[in-house]
Structure 1
Amino acid sequence: MSYSSKHLIADRRFGPVFWTQFFGAFNDNLLRNALAILIIMKSLTVGGLSSSQMVALCGGIFILPFFLFSATAGQLADKVSKSRLIFWVKVWEVALMILASCGFLWESLPILLIALFMTGLQSTFFGPVKYSVLPQLLQDDELLSATAQVEMGTFFSILLGTVVGGLLMGIPREGPWLVGLVIIGCSVLGCLASSVIRPIPPVAPQLRIQWNPIPPTMEIMKLTYREESIFLAILVISWFWFLGSAFLSLLPPFCKEFLQADESVITLFLALFSIGIGLGSLLCGRLSRDRVELGLVPTGGMGMSFFAFDLFLAGRPEMSAAGSGGISVAVFLSTFEGLRIAWDLFLFSICGGIVIVPLYTFLQRKPDPAERSRIVAGNNIVNSIFMVAAAILLVGLFEVGCSISSIFLFLAVINLGAVIPAYRAFPDFFLRFLCWLIANFMYRLQVTGTENIPSEGPAVLVSNHVSFVDWLLIASACPRPVRFVMHYKFFEIRLMRRFFRDGKVIPIAGIQENPQILREAFLQITEELRRGQIVCLFPEGRITRDGTKRKFRPGVEWIVRKFPAPVIPIALNGLWGSFFSRKYGRPMSKPFRRFWSRIAVAIGKPVPPHEVSAERLHDLVSELQGE
């Protein structure tokens, strides 16, 4: 594990931001849950609404500011110093928690509703800086770990706040004032944490703030539409919140109506959901190797659909662990069905954490720094729309008589429909991650020199050609998607054709075989480099038949003359004699050899375009091989 993933919370740059958001999310959820319990216990209402309608109304009151003021909040976060904005937002929170405490002590619903709306407004102004501040404090290679820990901390604080709110309100007489004491104390702790965030200069001080929320909202939505990849990332994030809010809304009636379980099982489910998101966030950091692995998004999405579908199977009435009255956690977990449902929910949540972290990290890295906070604000607006849509959808499905288990099935199916566009948006990232999984399953890869791959901009990779999986190992080792150049005959394999097309593989032929394909290949290589992509060539022209490296062909020289780009030599060691090599004759015709053997991928330093020659690259690859 890298330094960033082990020590970031203790780091002076990140720790204060983490604890500021942790105490803020804890307070939000403690306040909301305590208010919901108070409304139900005391039958507090306005306008003749029922207690259940009041609880639903509270959710709408809290989320309303996200619709109205996210755009203005995004503008403000880009205009002023984010560190000072966070501090004053947290001072505002202290005042709001004092107001809410008075509402709990006096059992005044109007005061509590005002405090709830203002807390939602305060969260609206904190939202854009919560993520956009990180790129100004941390290095690029630390962002993914930081985002994973923010997500883990957020969902753990949501769980903790929800549970503590319920426990405190369950204490006779002292409950309301204890709630007030805790929320004031946590708001003060959050304020203290925010006061030591490092000073951050504003990124767009010339920006004009529009206090009328409609024009900036329209402007920010246009900003999010402008770049397709950013808008698609926002849509997928919002879809996650759509599914998450739908699942959280379904858990209480699922426990009561289908499982005949008591409140302790609901608490268990909430705990599994929050802990699963947190663990999924951390797991994503490990799988991503501190890089933005958008390939994890469709992978996690498919996992969410699978476990939602199994919840449908396990949640049918005839399969539930129904008993007389409400069953406890111990009884519920003593049954096979109970364990299955708990694991489904837990693994569903882990997959959700895997989905969300790369997207939030992408949303921090991709936008222009001067627009980052407004992009995050636009994301918050779309998130809110999707969460409201989820609530409306559930009301409609219940209205037409759908059972809860059938809704799980419905969500699993429509989520698969969302996974397909996610794959189409980032196919090369997904395929690269798939290559990494396959390569690390077959072999113990030892990769050195990844720091020699530029984080952005064009480059040409050249490697020795030992086996039919050389491309797979290079794709796994490279921190960016690679455009491989392969012999056009491989495209005639029907099963691989779609795979190569989605991976943007470039077909090539010898000049004697098909000069037209050769010309088109060089034109396509030049175009990919012009677009800032990485292209990989195997200059030997074919896989070695005797384990020795053949002379490099001069095609790479022509390429860098047409488009000057650095050339990076790569050496593959340990593949000769493998199942995919020609050492024993026809490859892949004998039993699999050397499973889990050590394979070394050595990446050399870039060679400037004006110094490139086929002979020099051949010698550099030989040096990397230790020859």
Structure 2
Amino acid sequence: MTSREGSTRGFWALIVTQFQGAFSDNALKALVTFLGLALAATHAERERVVPLVGLLFSLPFIFFSMAGGWLADRLSKRAVSLGVKIFELGIMAFAWFGLRHEHLPMAFAAVALMGVHSAFFGPSKYGLLPELLPEHRLSWGNGILELGTFLAIILGGAAGGLLYQQFKGRYEHAALLLLAFAGIGLAAALAITRVPAANPGKAFRANFLGDLFSQIGRIRRDRILWLAVLGNTYFFYLGALILQNAILFGADTLRVDEFRTSCLQAALAVGIGLGSFAAGCLSGGKIEYGLVPLGAIGMTIFSGALGVPILGYRAALLLLTLLGFFGGFFIVPICAIMQHRPDRKERGAVLAAANLLSFVGIALASGVFWLLRAADLTTSQVFLAGAGMTLAVLLLLSVLLPDAFLRMLLWGYTHSLVRLRVEGGEHLSAAKGALLVAERSTFADGLLILAATDHPLRPIMARRLYDRPWIRLFAKSARALPCAPRALREAGVALREGEAVLVWRETGAAVDGEPSAWERRLGRLLGNSDVARIAVQIDAPSDQTGRRRLLFRARTVRFGRPTPRPHASDRGVVHTRG
């Protein structure tokens, strides 16, 4: 078996392991919740059961996520996965004893222990993806993982209710089934590909809050990574707010029974799963940043649509599904960024911090929901408030990451009017910093190069093109540099920071009458550093008359193999076009 086949098998083993864990988490939570409601002696006790179960499951993520991140870096992530599955066998045996005797405190403790299990598994689970899959399949892998997770949440919650009904008075039989499922999860974890420990010498910090703030400080040094962590936190915050509101929306506004109310929550989860899968498939073998604003736009629209007072039940199901679908578009590239950008030795700690902050977002959603309801907002108005919050996030994103909106437009363009093919993209992905040298072409072709890669890119453009009003907006969004000495300095900084710089080459032509000066500048850009030089070619499809066709045709962007120095044959002049 080749290493690639082994990694693919290991990836699917991880998916099965994660599916089983999420399924069992939610099945046990639902089973214990129904048992708690049945055994509650007073109305006040009954009212406390649902939030108590949710709190018991969530608190371990706050207290143990950082420890899980340390284990994910200190040990092999496969070994951690095996350890938590063995731990789950013990938890389900403990749950069996509590359910057999209908001992509610033990059943509650089992839910909390499953929270500990999931808190330790989370960083290893997400950290395994970039170790099992190549970068160009990372978004696809995240889409599959999120689809499986949300399907497991839905099926697990439904299974918990079914187990309660089928084994009423004989709950230990339900626990035996969950124990058997834990065994299946352990068998799947054994099939995960063996991976080495990322940082065997990493020291443990008992102060998880100090560890969290220290990790946040390191994350903030990478602006894109920090924004991704914040986006991940907001996603879980909004999801928790919508899910809590959906319960009262079904009961108070739509006036439907408990089963139909559960279907409203399931519709959101199904939408997220389907949207995640679609986003992974539509990312084109890269991290598609443009899907983030597209997802935020969809979440804003459909959350706002849920605020229409005359909404019917079927319309609500459809809108919640669409809201979740665009939520999947929003979260998949964010997850891929958090897995790809951190250093391998710190990846587990970064994912642990993101995991912890996501549960801070969930807890914050509970407080915000209580405040909104205390302010006498109806459930429809809470949906409108969620739309307003997401719109604010969207506007903030347009300021902090304007190139994400340009990438959104390019994604739409290359999935409708033009079919874009990319060859040799792995050459650019493997380079920390790269000087891309393309043949003379058009501004539109420069945008195609931008659409062909998720690598941070700084095009250098001629000043006369950059200053045109209709181009300037796109140029700024693309982080283009106008041709000037200052642009060369900024390009040098970008190369040293691992970004790519795009210039245009036209052999034998002069730029600003100084061909020799541009040759020297090109040499200084490469200097004595490890910056690679990569040639880029774009095909120019034409119709039968020989005229170029820009629409409704396949376009191919080819990245050549990197060379560390410009050869003598390449000592032409860099022509800075857009």
CA distance in 1, matches of 2:134, 2:422: 22
Contact conserved, 2:74 with 2:197, CA < 8 A, in 1?
Answer: yes
CA distance in structure 2 between the aligned counterparts of 1:485 and 1:276, rounded to whole angstroms: 41
1:489 matches 2:455: no
Give the corresponding residue for 1:611. Answer: 567
For residue 85 of structure 1, the aligned residue among 68, 80, 83 is 80
Q: In 2, Cα distance between the equivalents of 1:116 and 1:65?
A: 10
**Partner of residue 18, structure 1:** 15
Q: Secondary structure at the match of 2:143?
A: helix
Is 2:350 aligned against 1:375?
yes
1:303 matched to which residue of 2? 298
Aligned residue for 1:571, secondary structure, equals: strand
Q: Give the Cα–Cα distance (whole angstroms) in 2 for the partners of residues 358 and 439 of structure 1.
A: 18
Aligned to 1:402: 377
Q: Distance in 1 between matches of 2:214 and 2:498?
A: 29
CA contact (8 A) 2:541 2:553 kept: no
Q: Map 1:182-221; keep pairs closer than 5 Å.
A: 182-211=177-206, 213-221=208-216
The answer to whether residue 38 in structure 2 is matched with residue 41 in structure 1 is yes
SS for the counterpart of 1:484 is strand
Q: Does 1:393 align with 2:393?
A: no
* 128 and 476 in structure 1: CA distance in 2 versus 1, 3 angstrom threshold: closer
| Letter in structure 2 aligned against 1:43 | A
Q: Deviations over 1:243-285 (max 9, x none)?
A: 1111111112111111112233223323322221111111111
Question: The residue matched to 2:72 in structure 1 has which SS?
Answer: helix
User: How far, CA to CA, are the matches of 1:106 and 1:29 in structure 2?
Assistant: 21
Q: Is the 8 A contact 1:224 1:378 kept in 2?
A: no
Q: Which amino acid aligns with 1:119?
A: M
Confirm or deny that 1:525 pairs with 2:491: yes
1:272-329 CA distance string (max 9 Å, x none): 222211111111112211211222212211111111011112xx1xx144xxxxxxxx
Alignment partner, residue 250 of structure 1 = 245
Count of residue correspondences: 564
Q: How does 1:159-308 map to 2 (within 5 A)?
A: 159-171=154-166, 173=168, 176-211=171-206, 213-308=208-303
Note the alpha carbon deviations across 1:324-373, whole angstroms, 9 max, x for none.
Answer: xxxxxxxx4xxxxx2x3222111111111111111112111211222211
- C-alpha contact 2:150 2:273 (8 A) present in aligned 1: yes
Unaligned runs of 5+ in 1: 322-331, 333-337, 509-517, 541-548, 585-592, 619-627
User: In structure 1, which of residues 144, 150, 153 is the aligned counterpart of residue 145 of structure 2?
Assistant: 150
Note if 1:596 corresponds to 2:571.
no
C-alpha distance in structure 2 between counterparts of 1:439 and 1:144, whole Å: 18
Looking at structure 1, the residues matched to 375 and 560 of structure 2 have their Cα atoms a distance apart, in angstroms, of 63
d(CA) in 2 for partners of 1:84, 1:52? 41
Query: Is the 8 Å Cα contact of residues 297 and 356 (structure 1) preserved in structure 2?
Result: yes
User: Which of 391, 396, 417 is the matching residue for 1:416?
Assistant: 391
The superposition leaves residues 570-600 of structure 1 with CA deviations (integer Å, 9 ceiling, x where unpaired) of: 333336789xx9x79xxxxxxxx76413444
SS in 2 for 1:209: coil
- The farther-off stretch of 387-396 and 601-610 is 601-610
Shift of 1:430: 4.1
Deviation at 1:395, TM superposition (A): 0.9
Matched-pair contact (CA < 8 Å) for 1:462–1:537: yes
Q: Alpha-carbon deviation of 1:403?
A: 0.3
Residue by residue, what CA displacement relative to the aligned partner does 1:507-553 show, whole Å, maximum 9, x if unpaired? 12xxxxxxxxx33333333333333322222334xxxxxxxx98576
Counterpart for residue 557 of structure 1: 519
Pair 1:121-2:121 in alignment: no
Q: Equivalents in 2 of 1:44, 1:28: separation in Å?
A: 26
CA RMSD of aligned residues (A): 3.0
Distance (whole Å) between structure 2 residues aligned to residue 243 and residue 262 of structure 1: 24
Counterpart CA distance in 2 for 1:568 and 1:206 is 37
Match of 1:574 in 2: 540
Shift of 1:452: 4.0
Q: Quote the residue 1:133 is aligned against.
A: 128
Structure 2, unpaired ranges of 5+ = none
CA shift at 1:466, angstroms? Answer: 4.5
Q: Read off the aligned partner of 2:523 and give its amino acid letter.
A: R
Aligned mates of 2:397, 2:568 — CA distance in 1: 39
Secondary structure at the aligned position of 2:342 is classed as coil
Matched residues in 2 for 1:266 and 1:362: separation? Answer: 35
Structure 1 SS opposite 2:273: helix
Distance verdict in 2 for CA 1:102–1:346, change over 3 Å: same
* TM-score for the superposition, normalised by structure 2: 0.89
TM-score under structure 1 normalisation? Answer: 0.82
Q: 3-state SS of the aligned residue for 1:563?
A: helix
Residues 178/320 of structure 1: CA separation in 2 closer, same or farther (3 Å cut): farther
| Structure 2 CA distance for partners of 1:499 and 1:35, relative to 1, 3 Å | same
